[in-house]
Amino acid sequence: MAIPDAAHLLDRNLREIFGPRLQSLIVYGAHSSEPPKGDGHSHGHADATVLTLAVVERMTREDLRACAARIDAWHARGLATPLLVAAHEFDRSLDAFPLEFGAILADHIVVSGANPFAASKLDPADVRRACEVQARSHLLHLREAYLETRGRADALSDLIGQSAPAFTALLRSVARLEGQVSGDDGAAARHAERVLGITGGAIADIVRLAGAHDLPSADAERLFGPYLEAVEKLVAYVDGWIDAR
């Protein structure tokens, strides 16, 4: 797997700041399997942005100030703001952020240093609880956001496009927990459709719209009902995990 050039630049920069205190740097997410496309000038967490996590022995306010001074340059090279984790915090964070770290464990490559996940193991119970919280939260916010559209189809289009990434991430977490090792969003959607008994490809349609900004109003009106139903069924499904314990 090719490591994006921007990640090597970040590694050099972080070593200038932390020196030997930098224990590991990894790339995770989409760019752990392929380098970014385009001109490399994306900001935030768009598709062309390289996501990274750095584990350091310890960090000071001066270290953070030095990193902050380079943020614009990193963004200009297509790097998202790196996640900085102190070594003593790392293992203790796994149970607090099981979905986030589960996604990173499932899809990452080491840029430098030791693999920080070599001895890491997520507790499935933590993942199940986090999936339940995430699913319930998504349902509540989806209903609330629908009310706030005031019935406007253009606002509904934005709602679907903006909420689909979080829904997709949740589906990936559910699929991983149930032994589906593929990191493909489409595979996670198909798995959800099977276990939830949803036909017609509604979940796959929503997943494909993650981050979309140009969903036609008619399509938004058609998709929102099945989308809401899918989230409601997902909540009931993860409830079954808890009841089965």
How does pLDDT run across 140-193, given as a tens digit for each residue?
999 999 999 999 999 999 999 999 999 998 998 899 888 886 668 889 999 999
Question: In terms of Cα–Cα distance, which of 90, 101, 163 is closest to 130?
Answer: 101
Looking at residue 60, the DSSP 8-state letter turns out to be -
Query: Contact 14/54 with Cβ under 8 angstroms?
Result: yes
Same domain, 93 and 18: yes
Domain total for the chain?
Answer: 2
Same domain, 130 and 240: yes
pTM for the complete prediction?
A: 0.70
Same domain, 155 and 210: yes
Is residue 198's pLDDT more than 60?
yes
- Span 28-60, pLDDT tens digits: 986 554 433 333 333 334 445 899 999 999 999
* CA–CA distance, 149 with 140 (Å, rounded to integer): 15
* CA–CA distance, 46 with 211 (Å, rounded to integer): 8
Same domain, 106 and 143: no
- 118 found inside a domain: no
Query: Contact 133/101 with Cβ under 8 angstroms?
Result: no
Same domain, 139 and 200: yes
Same domain, 17 and 107: yes
pLDDT of residue 244: 55
Same domain, 165 and 239: yes
Bridge partners (DSSP) of residue 97 are none
pLDDT of residue 56: 96
Same domain, 25 and 93: yes
- 17 found inside a domain: yes
Task: Tell me how long the chain is.
Answer: 245
Q: Which of 87, 113, 139 is the last residue of a domain?
A: 113
Same domain, 36 and 132: no
Same domain, 198 and 238: yes
80-112 burial, b for 16+ CB within 10 Å, e for fewer?
Answer: bbbebbeeeebeeebeeebbbbbbbbbbbbbbb
Bridge partners (DSSP) of residue 83 are 53
Residues spanned by the domain of 35: 5-113
Same domain, 22 and 71: yes
pLDDT of residue 211: 67
* CA–CA distance, 68 with 81 (Å, rounded to integer): 9
Tell me the three state secondary structure of residue 132. helix
Q: Which of 91, 113, 135 is the last residue of a domain?
A: 113
Residue found under tokens 């993650």: 210
Q: Which of 113, 148, 169 is the last residue of a domain?
A: 113
- Span 96-149, pLDDT tens digits: 888 888 888 888 999 999 998 887 777 888 888 899 999 999 999 999 999 999
CATH number at residue 106: 3.30.460
